[in-house]
């Protein structure tokens, strides 16, 4: 011990009406530091305490927490008004021998000595400086736990994203939905890590040592923490609802050339009607990269249309006024399974249907096959081909002049061509006009307007049907 420290005798004012309180503390301090290093004064009343505070100017004031005659507020306001830095602690001596220092910790006698030791090291330091040591420890724990949270989040997110929780993506709606799913996976990983890492870290790091009997620190509340843990989840939920609403709108964008299909559910099967083609099918066949507008209805109870690969889902409700719509843009050729996603009775689990997403050509071929199976009359079939292939948007059926000549009365007539010659409009002429449209241009019509591709688009049988139909337009 050097000279200057020896010269300074620490002055401790003990305020308590109970003489045993002062004696007990005096003994603790005396044993630790020796009688010559510390000077004690006992004050047994409020007035005495304040008088000693002014006249004697102690380094440390110890107030008996359990003594109701010492008014702590009055004492502290007097103390704060003074200009000398001092330390004040509220102490309660308990029958067990423990020293309770309020607003701090419950200490065992051994720990109390260490704590007293700390008090003497820096007797006149301001209070904030005393706090710096535990604060540094807290920051260290927070940094370590924070890093563990980050590592755990990324590992969990990687696992969630790679264990195949989501089926294959077969529609553009699925891309949108999966974006949300992935955001949710990330937050699930983050929240799980946030909770589990802090619990696990605390279990390991703050475990009580062998023989340790003391209580943990007492916290009455932490406004900052409570505000943070209210605002962050609130903001997260609001952000998700906003993103969710936008994504929902994105999955419902309507395209004008959507294929119409009416879906009817009943106990326990599905049936699909294609009103544009007059087809009724037990399989849902869809062309790739073209939007389908499903109109869903039910004959009996509530069913639900769900193809997991398309992600979107919609109930099919009984009742003519309750037709629900669902838009899907299939973007992957393949065969999928339609499931009923609403418990609808005994065979609900078997209420499945085959969904085929096929190329445009395969879809056209399927339509042709279905339609020709439906229609035995070549004229009726021909009309269907004319409608489905856009013929009648250029060739009117009522004699009006569109891009090409009208079909009304076109067959069996003498036709004047652009070169001035005439030709009889027989089957051979009509056939040539379809498969080789620029060979003979009718007078008054521009050349090279009609595509020369119908010989590939249509089968010979379909062309024969078309000719049969044209001959009936009178």
Sheet order of strands, 303-306 included: 284-287, 353-358, 334-340, 303-306, 313-316
Nearer to ligand CUA, 256 or 346 (CB): 346
Question: Residue 272 CB, nearest distance to ligand CUA (Å)?
Answer: 15
* The binder of ligand CUA chosen from 17, 38, 296, 351 (CB under 6 A): 351
**Residue 114 to residues 3, 28, 100, 120, 150: CA-CA distances in angstroms?**
24, 11, 14, 10, 37
Sheet order of strands, 87-93 included: 38-43, 10-15, 60-64, 87-93, 99-101, 106-107
Cβ distance 177 to 311 under 8 Å?
Answer: yes
Question: Residue 316 CB, nearest distance to ligand CUA (Å)?
Answer: 8
Question: Residue 301 CB, nearest distance to ligand CUA (Å)?
Answer: 7
- The backbone torsions φ and ψ at residue 89, rounded to the nearest 5 degrees and listed phi first, read -130, 145
* Rounded Cα–Cα distance for residues 101 and 119 (Å): 13
Nearer to ligand CUA, 303 or 311 (CB): 303
* Rounded Cα–Cα distance for residues 406 and 410 (Å): 7
Categorise residue 319: left if φ over 0, alpha if ψ from -120 to 50, beta otherwise: left
Written as one string, the DSSP assignment of 16-28 is -S-HHHHHHHHHH
Nearer to ligand CUA, 22 or 265 (CB): 265
Nearer to ligand CUA, 344 or 371 (CB): 344
Question: Residue 271 CB, nearest distance to ligand CUA (Å)?
Answer: 13
Binding range to ligand CUA, per CB under 6 A, among 209-217, 225-233, 240-248, 342-350: 342-350
Q: Is 340 in the site for ligand CUA (CB under 6 A)?
A: yes
Per-residue interface string for the shown chain with ligand CUA, residues 287-316, x marking contact by CB under 6 A:
----------------x-------------
* Rounded Cα–Cα distance for residues 280 and 19 (Å): 102
Q: Is 342 in the site for ligand CUA (CB under 6 A)?
A: yes
Question: Residue 270 CB, nearest distance to ligand CUA (Å)?
Answer: 8
Nearer to ligand CUA, 28 or 301 (CB): 301
Nearer to ligand CUA, 343 or 361 (CB): 343
Q: Is the dihedral of CA 103, 104, 105, 109 positive or negative?
A: negative
Q: Is 358 in the site for ligand CUA (CB under 6 A)?
A: no
* Rounded Cα–Cα distance for residues 124 and 296 (Å): 81
Question: Residue 263 CB, nearest distance to ligand CUA (Å)?
Answer: 12
Nearer to ligand CUA, 344 or 463 (CB): 344
Cβ distance 223 to 179 under 8 Å?
Answer: no
Question: Residue 308 CB, nearest distance to ligand CUA (Å)?
Answer: 15
Nearer to ligand CUA, 240 or 268 (CB): 268
Q: Is 265 in the site for ligand CUA (CB under 6 A)?
A: yes
**Residue 116 to residues 30, 95, 164: CA-CA distances in angstroms?**
11, 19, 60
Name the residues that contact ligand CUA, by CB under 6 A: 265, 268, 303, 340, 342-344, 348, 351
């Amino acid at each position: 011990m050097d000279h200057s420290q020896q010269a300074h005798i620490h002055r401790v004012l003990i305020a308590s009406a109970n003489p045993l309180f002062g004696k007990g503390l005096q003994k603790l301090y005396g044993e630790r530091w020796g009688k010559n290093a510390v000077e004690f004064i006992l004050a047994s009343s409020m007035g005495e305490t304040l008088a000693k505070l002014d006249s004697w100017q102690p380094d440390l004031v110890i107030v008996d927490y359990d003594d109701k005659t010492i008014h702590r507020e009055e004492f502290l306001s007097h103390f704060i008004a003074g200009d000398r830095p001092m330390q004040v602690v509220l102490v309660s001596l308990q029958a067990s021998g423990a020293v309770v220092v309020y607003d701090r910790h419950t200490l065992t006698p051994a720990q109390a000595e260490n704590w007293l030791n700390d008090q003497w090291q820096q007797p006149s330091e301001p209070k904030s400086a005393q706090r710096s040591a535990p604060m540094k420890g807290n920051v260290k724990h927070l940094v370590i736990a924070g890093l563990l949270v980050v590592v755990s989040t990324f590992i969990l997110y990687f696992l969630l994203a790679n264990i195949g929780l989501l089926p294959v993506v077969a529609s553009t709606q699925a891309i949108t939905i999966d974006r949300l799913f992935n955001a949710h996976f990330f937050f699930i990983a983050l929240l799980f890590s946030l909770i589990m890492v802090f619990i696990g870290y605390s279990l390991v790091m703050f475990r009580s040592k062998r023989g340790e009997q003391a209580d943990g620190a007492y916290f009455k509340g932490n406004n900052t923490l409570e505000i943070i843990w209210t605002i962050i989840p609130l903001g997260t939920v609001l952000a998700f609802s906003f993103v969710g609403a936008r994504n929902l709108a994105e999955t419902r964008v309507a395209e004008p050339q959507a294929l119409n299909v009416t879906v009817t559910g009943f106990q326990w099967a599905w049936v699909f009607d294609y009103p544009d083609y007059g087809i009724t099918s037990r399989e849902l066949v869809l062309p790739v990269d073209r939007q389908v507008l499903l109109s869903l209805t039910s004959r009996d109870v509530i069913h639900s249309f769900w193809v997991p690969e398309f992600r979107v889902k919609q109930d099919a409700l009984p009742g003519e006024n309750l037709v629900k719509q669902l838009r899907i843009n299939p973007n992957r050729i393949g065969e999928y399974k339609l499931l009923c996603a609403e418990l609808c009775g005994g065979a609900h689990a078997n209420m499945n249907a085959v969904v085929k997403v096929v190329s445009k050509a395969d879809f056209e071929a399927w339509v042709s096959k279905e339609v020709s199976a439906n229609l035995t009359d070549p004229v009726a079939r021909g009309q269907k081909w004319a409608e489905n292939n856009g013929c009648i948007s250029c060739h009117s059926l009522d004699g009006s002049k569109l891009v090409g000549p009208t079909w009304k009365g076109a067959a069996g007539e003498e036709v004047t061509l652009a070169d001035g010659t005439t030709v009889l409009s027989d089957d051979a002429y009509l056939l040539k006009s379809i498969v080789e449209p620029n060979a003979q241009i009718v007078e008054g019509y521009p050349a090279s307007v009609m595509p020369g591709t119908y010989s590939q688009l249509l089968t010979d049988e379909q062309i024969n049907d078309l000719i049969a139909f044209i001959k009936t337009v009178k």
